[in-house]
Chain A
Amino acid sequence: MSGAGRLFPVVWRRLPGRIGLLGLALVVLAAVVAPPFLPSPIEQPDIEHADQSPSAAHPMGTDPLSRDVLARVASGGRVSLAVAALAVALSVTLGALVGVAAGYYGGAVDAVMMRLVDGALAIPRLFLLLLLLALWERIPITAFVLIVGATGWFGTSRLVRAEVLRLREADYVQAARALGSGAGRIMFRHLLPNAAGPLLVAATLGVGEVILLEAGLSFLGLGIQPPTPSWGGMIYDAREVLVTAPWASVFPALAITLTVLSVNLIGDALRDALDTRGA
Chain B
Amino acid sequence: MRRWLLARSAHALLTLLVSVCVLFFLMRAAPGDPLSRLGGDRPISAAQIRNLRARYGLDQPVTRQFAAFAGGVARGDLGTSIQYSRPVSQLIAERLPATLLLGGTVLLLNFTLGIWLGAWQAIRRGRLADRALEVTSLAFYSVPSFWLAILLATVASIHWHLLPPAGMRDPLLGPDAAWSVRAVDVLRHLVLPALTLSLVSIAATMRYQRAAMIEALGEPFVQTARAKGISERRVLWHHAWRNALFPVITLFGLWLPVLVTGSVFVEAVFAWPGLGGLAASAVGSRDYPLLMGTAVLVSVLVILGGLIADIAYAVLDPRVRQA
**A residues with CB within 8 A of B:** 16, 106, 110-111, 115-116, 118-124, 126-128, 130-132, 134-135, 155, 158-159, 162-163, 165-166, 169, 194, 197-198, 200-201, 204-205, 208, 211-212, 215-216, 232, 235-236, 239, 242-243, 249, 253, 256-257, 259-261, 264, 268, 271, 275, 279
Contact = CB atoms under 8 A, between A and B. Distances in A.
Contact of B298 (A122, A130, A135, A235): A122
9 contacts: A16-B126, A121-B257, A124-B260, A132-B26, A166-B317, A243-B150, A257-B142, A260-B142, A261-B139
B322 to A, nearest CB: 9
Interface string B164-204: 00000000000000000000000000000000000000011
A275 B214 CA distance: 10
A197 B214 contact: yes
B253 A120 contact: no
A119 B17 CA distance: 8
A121 B31 contact: no
Contacts, number: 173
A250 B138 CA distance: 16
Q: Is the interface of B mostly helix, strand, loop or mixed?
A: helix
A129 to B, nearest CB: 10
Contact of A275 (B17, B29, B131, B218): B218
B65 interface: no
Contacts of A128: 26
Nearest to A259: B142
B111 interface: no
A257 B207 contact: no
Contacts of B251: 155, 159
A169 B19 CA distance: 32
Given A124-B279, A197-B212, A257-B138, A162 B31 contact: no
B89 interface: no
Interface in B18-32: 18-19, 21-23, 26-27, 29-32
A198 B211 contact: yes
Contacts of A216: 144, 265
Contacts of B319: 169
Interface string B5-25: 000000100111111011100
Contacts of B26: 128, 131-132
Given A165-B320, A204-B207, 10 more contacts: A115-B18, A122-B19, A124-B298, A158-B254, A159-B208, A197-B211, A198-B247, A232-B144, A264-B138, A268-B134
